[in-house]
């Protein structure tokens, strides 16, 4: 057909389509109200060349009714310039995103034609479609997809404005059609994207320092390199009830926590000027590891738990240098060469990454095209390193596709590539999501639009429609609300996404999203982080089994390592127990876990209660109880992590127990089977910290959920107990099989949750012996189930006994012979003897009332029997309480002692600027807080520092802290030189307000009071007499100059001057 004839025919068809869409009265409208089939895509091609924002698309073409749009290569930082790089995007062509827009010049009745449908034959780039400003979800991957526009609020007769947003990653999208239809056909109906889910609001109250009043009072105390009893402190997060382990209390900012493969150790950087530390659970101590590079950081071995991979650089003759890689055993300190190679690559940023499938490593040189593949399995160490030259400069290089390819980003751009190591074939990577995602060993989670989260196969290549069934890109979470989170990871077991909430009900919390049910969100804790550093407030790290989440919080001034306990390890299964001679032989199957260090066996003469932990610990899946008493015995087994965290109890097994003896079994919620709208939830008051709760997240879910629990019991009639609560309206759990019954729970609310309580059903469960199931159902949102207990023991009453879950364990014995002594006017040391029984730790509290111990009173935890307290007031009595805690979290009664610090006259002196000697160049400034400060104006041309000197008359010989009020500037240098009595005392680093990265001049003003720490020293010994403390402002800072105010000295180490706060309350970014 002639081209002009073809255009005429298309025009006629378009007119007929309009008339067809507008049906005559009484006639049913056509199925399609509007469509774009891209036979003639002039408007789209023109829009691609003239975007409403960003760089024009690289190409736009229509062939055979398919429109293909290809993005350019955009820069991570569009303003960056690299003229020496031929491949760097041209000036004006570096935008991160491009948006094109097409206007449809007629109205469509969206009340009639409410479904948007698309067909995407191929896709290799993030592309997002908006209709009249409302974001859709239909272009998330290839294939046919449909969405109900009414759910976006698009109704009535409207003219259409269609906008496509591209991440400029050099990929493309092919579009076969866009349609608005009245009803979906057989091809479209299965692809309809559901309405989406809504998360339950938890409304958890936040505390700026988790209510740790005694620890908050000790923030700012003198730095201590070592303290009797260690740095550990265990407490409960007020909002979520999570058990929190505060692991460190170092003078420095700890950062960058990462676990080894079996969870027996984790790294901590920042505690030492050089090198880093490894916390080793078996020894419960830090080991300093020296060496390694600042950028290609040491990493744990993927195969050996006690080994690390360390890289070191040796200059030969610049630019020639040698990179040596070693394995270092942090337990034995053995250092073994792994590989070595020489290179001329410039040292910009070096990247050391490991394979997810083997022990292979990749060492890359950012801003170059050079990488080295390290294969430790090659016997000849000289042949382990292979040089590879990529076709472009690299960033974020790593192995992919089971070590058969290398993936990287073209340096400082969004353009990703993969190169096959066997053939050299290049493949453009497909960027399917944007924003800070959650990476995992096999799959990652990223955002698409405002409220869609995608689960994406790592190192994804271009996708075709035929690949859609493989689900390399699939919907992880389809929400009807904006769910804003930042960074994170997929846990090693593939069951959870760990991330940090940034807004709304998720704000400033560490969260676990279930991979199988993304409407199930475990709110772990408020992270209470204020410093604007990537290593503190952005990244958190799960242990291998995700039973613990590590993060850095500076809620007490310096960054410390915290662990939130997310749940207990899984229980062993298939437990057996048989008498053999004088002993009882036990065996079991290990749970699927990577963090098991050993197993602990509990024994009792009674089913379900009064269990004791045996002294022996099993390292395999079997053991023999060599001293069992005569008579009926009952056993349960738990897995124990290297950290000491105990797992859930196994099912109880009996030895020599008559069939008629009373039996009691507990079944925790996590061991049951359920489906939505029942969902796993988190609170520290629950058994194992997790429980089940009803929440209808989607209108498509069943009105009533059914939960099934399995048991194995002798024949009998058993009372049925449920531990639960109602976090909303009152509701009832109904037992539907076998027999019937119901248990009501009273009304609660998300703001004030009632406690979990045990309730018994009015009908008993009758069993014929052996394995069986019991079913419960309910449909009221907020109704929660934590555990059930089945018992034919007439004396059994968990509500009266205050049982959380069982089988119950005998509480730990209290400490004995508690005593204390004053070490100085500022410090006290406690000591005690252990009781006769199993104790996991001792918690130390300070306060007058032993009946009110908790977050407000705790100051530390220890596995030993000595504990030191410091930062105290001279000549002052302190009341201490020591509580023994077992591995199940049970507490003993407290033992108490009163100890006084040594006597010393207390002196606190305040010197304001009016009584200080100021350099003539200094000028006064008034802070918004009213503080009087002095600063150095810019441009005086004098290189000598400007001095502020404070004279202090000391009456009492002793150790003093020095505090100063100041306003930090948004400067590059925060160092203040300190001199005492004319002699240099060191350099004091002011606390920076934050690191905004740009727009420093627009940042707000901060004024506070901090303690002087000069080269690590914060305690200064002053003899009686006049002493002069001098601070020096550096003129080289120019206009961004710090301002200094009042100075305070005190020998009361518990004294905190006005203006000091351990919680700086800085925003993560100043514009938030």
pLDDT in tens, 989-1026: 887 766 544 445 545 678 889 999 999 899 999 999 99
Q: Give the domain CATH number at 1031.
A: 2.60.120.260
Q: Same domain, yes or no, for 912 and 1040?
A: yes
Q: Tell me, yes or no, whether 691 and 758 share the same domain.
A: yes
Residues 725-740 have a mean pLDDT of 86
Q: Is the pLDDT of residue 800 over 60?
A: yes
| Span 80-98, average pLDDT | 87
Residue 553 lies in a domain: no
CATH number of the domain that residue 307 is part of: 2.130.10.10
Residue listed under structure tokens 């191929």 = 122
Residues sharing a CB contact under 8 Å with residue 735, sequence separation 6 or more, in sequence order: 720, 741, 742, 761, 763, 765, 774, 775, 776
Q: Bridge partners of 916?
A: none
Stretch 797-818: mean pLDDT, rounded?
Answer: 92
42 has pLDDT over 50: yes
User: Do 871 and 746 lie in a common domain?
Assistant: no
Q: Are 323 and 389 part of one and the same domain?
A: yes
Instruction: For residues 1046 and 914, state if they share a domain.
Output: yes
CB atoms within 10 A of CB 299: 18
780 with 693, same domain: the answer is yes
792 lies in the same domain as 684? yes
pLDDT band for 1064, please (50, 70, 90 cuts).
low
Q: Cβ(485)–Cβ(435) under 8 Å? A: no
> Do the beta carbons of residue 900 and residue 822 sit within 8 Å?
yes
> Cα(684)–Cα(646) distance, rounded to whole angstroms?
15
The first and second tokens of residue 1005, run together, are: 């003003």
Q: Mean pLDDT over residues 92-109, rounded?
A: 92
Across residues 397-412, what is the average pLDDT? 96
**Rounded mean pLDDT of 14-25?**
43
Per-residue pLDDT at 17: 43
* % of the chain at pLDDT higher than 70: 94
Least reliable range by pLDDT among 246-260, 443-457, 542-556, 587-601: 246-260
Q: Is residue 1060 part of a domain?
A: no
- Per the listing, tokens 């759910």 go with 151
Whether the Cβ atoms of residue 94 and residue 106 lie closer than 8 Å to each other: no
| pLDDT score of 941 | 58
User: Of 853 and 1064, which is predicted with more confidence?
Assistant: 853
In this structure, is residue 452 part of a structural domain? no
Mean pLDDT, range 930-957, rounded to an integer: 87
Same domain, yes or no, for 582 and 686?
no
pLDDT at 538 over 90: no
Whole-prediction pTM? 0.93
Specify whether the backbone of 509 is left (phi greater than 0), alpha (psi in -120 to 50) or beta: beta
Residue 542 lies inside a defined structural domain of this protein: no
| H or E stretch covering 983 | strand 983-989
- With tokens 């170059």, the residue in question is 368
What phi and psi, each to the nearest 5 degrees, are found at residue 561?
A: -90, 130
Q: What angle do CA 726, 727, 728 make, to 5 degrees?
A: 90
Domain-located, residue 458:
no
How far apart (Å, rounded) are the C-alpha atoms in residues 875 and 434? Answer: 60
Residue-level pLDDT at 1061: 87
- Which CATH number covers residue 845? 2.60.40.10
Measured CA to CA, the distance from residue 521 to residue 834 in angstroms comes to: 40
pLDDT of residue 24 exceeding 70: no
Asked whether residue 609 is domain-assigned, the answer is: yes
| Domain that residue 780 falls in | 667-801
Q: What is the pLDDT of residue 741?
A: 78
**In a shared domain, residues 1045 and 913:** yes
Q: Is 587 within 8 Å of 576 (Cβ atoms)?
A: yes
User: How far apart, in whole angstroms, are the C-alpha atoms of residue 226 and residue 219?
Assistant: 16
Q: What is the pLDDT of residues 140-192, one digit of tens each?
A: 999 999 999 999 999 999 999 999 999 999 999 999 999 999 999 999 999 99
The answer to the question of residue 22 being in a domain is: no
In order of 586, 589, 668, the CA distances from 806 in angstroms are 20, 21, 9
pLDDT at residue 25 tops 60: no
Residues 411 and 297 in one domain: yes
Give the confidence band of 4 by pLDDT, cuts at 50, 70, 90.
very low
Running DSSP on this structure, what letter comes out for residue 1036? Answer: G
Of 336-340, 764-768, 894-898, the poorest mean pLDDT is in 764-768
Phi, psi dihedral angles at 509 (to 5 degrees): -125, 145
Q: How confident is the model at residue 751 (pLDDT cuts 50, 70, 90)?
A: low
**Domain finish residue from 641, 661, 681:** 661
- With 0-12 CB in 10 A as exposed, 13-18 as middle and 19+ as buried, what is 1072? exposed
Spatial separation of the C-alpha atoms in residues 102 and 69, rounded to whole Å: 14
> What confidence category does residue 1070 fall into, taking pLDDT thresholds of 50, 70 and 90?
very low
* pLDDT tens by residue, 551-593: 999 888 888 999 999 999 999 999 999 999 889 999 999 999 9
The string of DSSP letters for 911-938 reads E-GGGSEE-TT-EEEE-TTS-EEEE--T
pLDDT at 1003: 54
Q: How far is CA 510 from CA 433, 615, 1044, in A?
A: 22, 37, 37
- Let me know if residue 206 belongs to a domain: no
Task: Say if strands 157-167 and 97-109 run parallel, antiparallel, or are unpaired.
Answer: antiparallel
* CB-facing half-sphere around the CA of 113: CA atoms within 13 A: 24
Q: Are residues 791 and 920 in the same domain?
A: no
pLDDT for the residue numbered 1068: 44
Alpha-carbon span 1025 to 1029, nearest angstrom: 13
Contact 556, 622 (CB under 8 A): no
Q: Kindly state whether residues 685 and 785 are assigned to the same domain.
A: yes
Residue 880 contacts residue 862 (beta carbons within 8 Å): no
User: Given 602, 633, 661, which residue is the final one in a domain?
Assistant: 661
Last residue of a domain, one of 609, 644, 661: 661
Structural domain count, the chain: 5
Cα–Cα distance measured from residue 467 to residue 453, given in angstroms and rounded to the nearest whole number: 20
């Amino acid at each position: 057909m002639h081209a002009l004839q073809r255009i005429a025919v298309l025009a006629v068809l378009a007119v007929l389509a309009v008339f067809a869409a507008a049906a005559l009265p009484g006639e049913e409208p056509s199925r399609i109200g509007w469509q774009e089939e891209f036979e003639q895509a002039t408007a789209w091609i023109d829009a691609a060349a003239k975007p409403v924002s960003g760089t024009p698309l690289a190409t736009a073409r229509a062939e055979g009714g398919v429109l293909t749009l290809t993005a350019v290569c955009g820069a991570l930082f569009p303003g960056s310039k690299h003229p020496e790089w031929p491949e760097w995007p041209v000036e004006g062509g570096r935008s991160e995103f491009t948006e094109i827009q097409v206007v449809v010049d007629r109205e469509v009745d969206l009340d009639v034609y409410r479904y948007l449908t698309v067909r995407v034959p191929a896709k290799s780039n993030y592309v997002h479609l908006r209709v009249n400003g409302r974001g859709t979800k239909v272009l998330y991957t290839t294939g046919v997809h449909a969405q109900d526009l009414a759910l976006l609020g698009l109704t009535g007769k409207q003219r259409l404005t269609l906008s496509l947003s591209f991440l400029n990653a050099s990929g493309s999208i092919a579009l076969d059609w866009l349609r608005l239809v009245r009803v979906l056909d057989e091809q479209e109906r299965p692809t309809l994207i559901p309405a989406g889910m809504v998360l339950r609001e938890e409304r958890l109250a936040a505390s700026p320092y988790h209510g740790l009043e005694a620890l908050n009072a000790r923030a700012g105390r003198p730095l201590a390199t070592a303290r009797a009893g260690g740095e550990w402190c265990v407490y409960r997060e007020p909002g979520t009830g999570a058990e929190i382990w505060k692991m460190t209390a170092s003078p420095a900012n700890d950062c960058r926590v990462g676990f080894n493969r079996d969870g027996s150790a984790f790294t901590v950087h920042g505690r030492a000027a050089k090198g880093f530390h490894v916390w080793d659970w078996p020894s419960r101590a830090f080991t300093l590891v020296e060496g390694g590079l600042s950028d290609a950081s040491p990493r744990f071995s993927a195969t050996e738990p006690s080994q690390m991979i360390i890289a070191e650089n040796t200059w030969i003759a610049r630019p020639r240098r040698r990179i040596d890689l070693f394995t270092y055993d942090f337990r034995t300190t053995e250092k073994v060469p792994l590989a070595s190679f020489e290179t001329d690559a410039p040292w910009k940023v070096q990247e050391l990454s490991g394979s997810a499938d083997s022990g292979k490593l990749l060492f890359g040189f950012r801003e170059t095209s050079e990488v080295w593949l390290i294969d430790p399995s090659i016997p000849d160490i000289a042949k382990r390193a292979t040089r590879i030259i990529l076709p472009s400069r690299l960033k974020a290089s790593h192995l992919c596709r089971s070590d058969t390819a290398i993936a990287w980003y073209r340096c400082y751009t969004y353009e990703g590539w993969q190169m096959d190591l066997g053939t050299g074939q290049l493949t453009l990577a497909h960027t399917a999501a944007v924003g800070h995602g959650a990476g995992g060993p096999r799959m990652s989670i990223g955002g698409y639009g405002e409220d869609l989260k995608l689960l994406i196969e790592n190192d994804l290549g271009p996708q075709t429609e035929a690949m859609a069934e493989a689900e390399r890109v699939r919907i992880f979470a389809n929400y009807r609300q904006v769910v804003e989170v930042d960074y994170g990871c997929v846990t090693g077991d593939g069951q959870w996404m760990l991330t940090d909430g940034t807004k709304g009900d998720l704000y400033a919390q560490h969260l676990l999203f279930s991979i199988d049910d993304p409407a199930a969100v475990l709110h772990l804790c408020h992270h209470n982080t204020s410093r604007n550093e990537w290593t503190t407030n952005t990244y958190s790290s799960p242990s291998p089994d995700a039973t613990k989440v590590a993060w850095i919080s500076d809620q007490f001034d310096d960054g410390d390592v915290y662990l939130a306990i997310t749940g207990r390890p899984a229980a062993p299964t298939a437990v057996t127990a048989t008498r053999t001679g004088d002993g009882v032989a036990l065996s079991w199957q290990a749970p699927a876990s990577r963090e098991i260090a050993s197993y602990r066996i509990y024994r009792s003469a009674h089913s379900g209660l009064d269990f004791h932990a045996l002294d022996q610990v099993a390292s395999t899946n079997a053991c023999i109880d060599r001293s069992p008493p005569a008579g009926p015995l009952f056993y349960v087994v738990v897995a124990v992590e290297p950290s000491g965290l105990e797992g859930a109890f196994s099912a109880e097994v009996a030895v020599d127990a008559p069939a008629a003896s009373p039996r009691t079994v507990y079944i925790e919620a996590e061991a049951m089977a359920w489906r939505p709208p029942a969902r796993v939830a988190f609170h520290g008051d629950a058994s194992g910290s997790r429980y089940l709760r009803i929440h209808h997240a989607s209108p498509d879910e069943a009105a009533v959920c059914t939960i099934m629990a399995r048991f194995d019991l002798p024949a009998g009639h058993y009372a049925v107990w449920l531990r639960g609560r109602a976090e909303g309206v009152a509701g009832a759990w109904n037992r539907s099989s076998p027999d019937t019954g119901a248990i009501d729970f009273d009304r609660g609310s998300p703001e004030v949750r009632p406690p979990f309580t045990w309730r018994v059903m009015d009908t008993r469960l009758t069993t014929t012996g052996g394995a069986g199931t019991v079913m419960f159902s309910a449909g009221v949102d907020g109704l929660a189930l934590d555990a059930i207990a089945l018992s034919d023991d007439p004396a059994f009453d968990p509500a009266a006994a205050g049982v959380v879950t069982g089988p119950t364990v005998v509480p730990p014995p209290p400490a004995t012979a508690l005593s204390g002594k004053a070490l100085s006017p500022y410090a006290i040391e406690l000591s005690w003897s252990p009781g006769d029984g199993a104790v996991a730790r001792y918690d130390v509290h300070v306060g007058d009332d032993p009946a009110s111990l908790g977050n407000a009173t705790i100051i530390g935890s220890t596995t030993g029997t000595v504990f030191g307290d410091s930062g105290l007031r001279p000549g002052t009595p302190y009341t201490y309480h020591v509580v023994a805690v077992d591995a199940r979290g049970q507490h003993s009664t407290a033992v108490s002692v009163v100890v006084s610090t040594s006597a010393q006259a207390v002196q606190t002196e305040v010197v304001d600027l009016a009584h200080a000697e100021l350099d003539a160049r200094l000028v006064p400034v008034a802070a918004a807080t009213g503080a009087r400060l002095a600063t150095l104006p810019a441009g005086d041309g004098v290189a000598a520092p400007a001095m502020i000197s404070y004279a202090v008359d000391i009456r009492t010989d002793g150790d003093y802290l020095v505090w100063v009020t100041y306003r930090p500037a948004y400067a590059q240098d925060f160092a203040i030189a300190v001199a005492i009595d004319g002699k240099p005392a060191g350099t004091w680093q002011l606390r920076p307000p934050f690191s905004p990265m740009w727009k420093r001049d627009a940042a707000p003003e901060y004024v506070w009071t901090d303690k002087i720490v000069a080269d690590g020293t914060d305690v200064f010994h002053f003899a009686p007499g006049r002493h002069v403390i001098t601070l020096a402002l550096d003129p080289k800072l120019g206009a961004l100059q710090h301002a200094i105010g009042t100075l305070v000295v005190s020998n009361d180490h518990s004294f905190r001057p006005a203006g000091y706060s351990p919680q700086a309350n800085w925003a993560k970014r100043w514009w938030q």
